[in-house]
Amino acid sequence: MKAMETFVAPTPARINYLNATYGLKSWLLTRDHKRIALLYLGSISFFFFIGGLYAMFIRLELLTPQGDLLQSTTYNKVFTQHGIIMVFFFLIPSIPATLGNFLVPMMIGAKDLAFPRINLLSWYIYILGGIVTIYALLAGGIDTGWTFYTPFSTTFSNSYVVAAGLGIFINGFSSILTGLNFIVTIHTMRAPGMTWFRMPLFIWAHYATSLVMILGTPVIAITILLLAFERLAHIGIFDPAAGGDPVLFQHLFWFYSHPAVYIMVLPGMGVISELIANFSRKNIFGYSFVAFSSLAIAVFGFLVWGHHLFVASQSVYAGMIFSFLSFAVAIPSAIKVFNWTATLYKASISYDTPMLYALGFIGLFTIGGMTGLFLAALAVDVHLSDTYFIVAHFHYIMVGGTLLAYLGGLHYWWPKITGRMYPEGWGRFSALVIFVGFNLTFLPQFVLGYMGMPRRYHVYPAEFQVLHVLSSAGASILGIGLLIPLFYLIWSMRYGKIAAANPWNLPGLEWQTASPPPTENFELTPIVTWEAYEFAPAEETEIVGKFHGEKVGQA
């Protein structure tokens, strides 16, 4: 294995990016993408915790059919804020801003991102957006649902709509700048020999995500501005009495918010490609198909927003088109799942914590994705729209998918980021607890949904209680499972086993430098002459299933 033969692992306890400079200013004014990634890691964890607290209140209230824990307006604010915090302040930035920021330059052999100061600016913008949103929460909260549908949000809600909208508006620029940085970095700063098709699939996934970020986020920005103008100055754009159209808001909102879910899941898929390949010590089966499927998802993702409007008075014919396209967008994801599974064929699989998360992802993402098909099917979506089926569907992808990928990636690259290993036993244990807790929370919700339990309900008919109790029980297990890594990861930063430069013994470029890396990432700029995930020489490649006469390549 050429890559691994070349580099000598430097010894630890020397200058690295963590100890190169000291002091608060050196962190708050850093231009180092790795430090910025850690700044994000801290702030994103903070918001995740807040979003999780809101989730806890939701599940506690829903233990009983009556509204006995919270008043209805309070409950409405709790689920709204759970959504806003989780979507905008956790899921969208999570993998790109922490793992992406840390690893994109390293995986392509660069010293930093193209625009380090803009990277730091994106973090400050994120913090500013977060502060404005927290102000909105503390001042009284917001009760429109994270979807802000008009005319409730523009005319009828008495909550802090404009403040929360402003927080999200500001936060959007953080997203745009991150995407811009990644695109330029990947295009212009690859090390010599790092061709597009030698790049890890993590990079492809982040490239596709960045395309969605830069094209989609400006639209939510203008939508929020229009919402604010409507609410403050009553311009009438969404008010039928003034000649406007309330459903126009839904089109504008979902034009971004559907691609946004791909911003949330594509980086996760990139992480999974890394975990599957590296913990089975094999190239990803169908590398270029997986790479192109990321791009396909990014493009198709912009064409399906109308599936959120099937029952919203959208025309039947528009519904048909969006339904067709929504089925089409599922195919690239299916291709990924099959390729990941095929990678495991004749592999050498280890059961480390990151691999457990990756395997969990594949199973749960399959369920989440296939339940999406139910919703793409027009006639069934009519029944399922706005029920708990939808809630279960997107939590399978967001939590069962993105969150699991995030945790898996965090564990995988933890030695690279901190120079310490996490305790493997605790890692596997909490992965299991999270998996069990998660399924117990959300599987009953599919049933609840088909039975007709609507979402965003504070009180409900008694016949739904059993399933709600199951779901809340699962949520408590999930909550505990998520708290455990918080403790042992922080513990490991001080007391964890010191990690070697390449503790998993892998060929990726990020592993060919010290753990933690020096500030400039590589002491010498690498020249890349090997393919991605090249554990064994290419000449030894086994061939399975080809068309007659087909030439076999690194397909």
Partner 1 sequence: MAESYTVEHGHAEQGHPALQHHFENMEQQREAATLGMWVFLVTEIMFFGGMFLAYTLYRSEYPAAFASASNHLDLKLGAINTVVLILSSFTMAMAVYSTQVGKRRNQIISLVLTLLLGVTFLGIKAVEYHEKYVDNLIPGRLIPGRPFDASGVHLLPGALKQNVEMFYWIYFAMTGMHAVHMIIGIGLISVILFFTARGRYGPEYYNPVEVSGLYWHFVDIVWIFLFPLLYLLGRHLEH
Partner 2 sequence: MQTSWIPFVPPSASTLSGKVDALYFYLSGVTVFFTLLISGVLIFFVIKYRRRSPYEIPRPVAGSHKLETIWSVIPFLISMSMFAWGAQLYFQQSRPPKNAVEIYVVGKQWMWKIQHTTGQREINELHVPVGRRIKLIMTTEDVIHDFFIPAFRIKADVVPGRYTTQWFEATKPGKYHLFCAEYCGMNHSGMIGSVVVMEPTEFDNWLSGNTNQQSPAVAGQQLYQTLGCVSCHGASGEGGRGPALAGVFGREVFLTNGQTVKADEAYIRESVVNPQAKLVNGFGPIMPTFQGQISEEQLVQILAFIKSLQGPAQTAAPAAYTPSPTGSAASAAASAASPQAGSR
Pick what 8 binds: partner 2, partner 1, none; C-beta below 5 to 8 Å, kind-dependent.
none
- Is residue 218 close enough to count as binding partner 1 by CB under 8 A? yes
Select from partner 2, partner 1, none the partner in contact with residue 330, using the beta carbon and a kind-dependent cut-off of 5 to 8 Å: partner 2
Return d(Cα 74, Cα 472) in angstroms, integer: 19
Partner from partner 2, partner 1, none binding residue 42, C-beta < 5-8 Å depending on class: none
Smallest Cα–Cα separation from 94: which of 513, 404, 516? 404
Residue 111 within binding range of partner 1, rule CB under 8 A: yes
Q: Which is nearer to partner 2, 524 or 544 (CB)?
A: 544
Number of residues that bind partner 1 (CB under 8 A): 50
Residue 249 beta carbon to partner 1: minimum distance, rounded to whole angstroms:
11
CA end-to-end span of the chain = 20
Residue with tokens 């699939």: 201
Structure tokens at 549: 């006469």
CB of residue 156 vs partner 2: minimum separation in angstroms?
Answer: 5
For residue 425, the partner it binds in partner 1, partner 2, none, with Cβ less than 5 to 8 A by kind, is none
Residue 351 interacts, among partner 2, partner 1, none and using kind-specific CB cut-offs from 5 to 8 Å, with: partner 2
Out of 94, 98, 157, 217, name the contact with partner 1 by CB under 8 A: 217
C-alpha to C-alpha distance for 100 and 20, rounded to whole angstroms: 22
CB 492 within 8 A of CB 421: yes
Q: Are 157 and 141 in contact (CB under 8 A)?
A: no
The alpha carbon torsion through 473, 475, 481, 485 (nearest 10 deg) reads -160
Our CB check for partner 2 shows the closer of 159 and 185 to be: 159
**Binding of partner 1 at residue 110 (CB under 8 A)?**
yes
Q: Does 13 bind partner 1 (CB under 8 A)?
A: no
Q: Which stretch binds partner 1 (CB under 8 A): 158-166, 242-250, 257-265, 445-453?
A: 242-250
Report, in Å, the least distance between residue 519 CB and partner 1. 10
**Judged by CB under 8 A, does residue 226 bind partner 1?**
yes
Which residue from 93, 130, 216, 368 is in contact with partner 1, where contact means CB under 8 A?
216
Residues 6+ apart with CB under 8 A from 31: 112, 116, 117, 119, 120
70 is in the binding site of which of partner 2, partner 1, none (Cβ under 5 to 8 A by kind)? none
Task: Scan for tokens 């100055």, then name that residue.
Answer: 233
Least distance between partner 1 and beta carbon 520 (Å): 8
Find the Cα–Cα–Cα–Cα dihedral 388, 390, 395, 397, rounded to 10°: 150
Neighbours of 152 (CB within 10 A): 15
Torsion of CA 474, 478, 484, 486, to 10 degrees: -150
Please give the structure tokens belonging to residue 275.
């975990």
- Shortest CB 152 distance to partner 2, Å: 4
Q: How far is the CB of 42 from partner 2 (least distance, A)?
A: 33
CA nearest 54: which of 479, 485, 440, 481?
479
Binding-site member from 316, 524, 543, 544 for partner 1 (CB under 8 A): 524
Using the Cα atoms of residue 44, residue 50, residue 56 and residue 58 in order, give the sign of their dihedral.
negative
CB atoms inside a 10 Å sphere around CB 524: 8
229 forms part of the interface with partner 1 (CB under 8 A): yes
**Euclidean distance between CA atoms 452 and 200, whole angstroms:** 44
Between 53 and 349, whose beta carbon lies closer to partner 2?
349
- Reported residue count of the chain is 555
For the CB of residue 111, give the shortest distance to partner 1 in the complex, in Å: 4
Orientation of helix 101-108 relative to helix 404-418, angle to 10°: 60
Among 19, 28, 72, 192, binds partner 1 (CB under 8 A): 192
529 binds partner 1 (CB under 8 A): yes
The binding site for partner 1 (CB under 8 A) comprises 2, 5-7, 110-116, 176, 180-181, 183-185, 187-189, 192, 214-219, 221-223, 226, 229, 233-237, 242-245, 248, 252, 520, 522, 524-527, 529
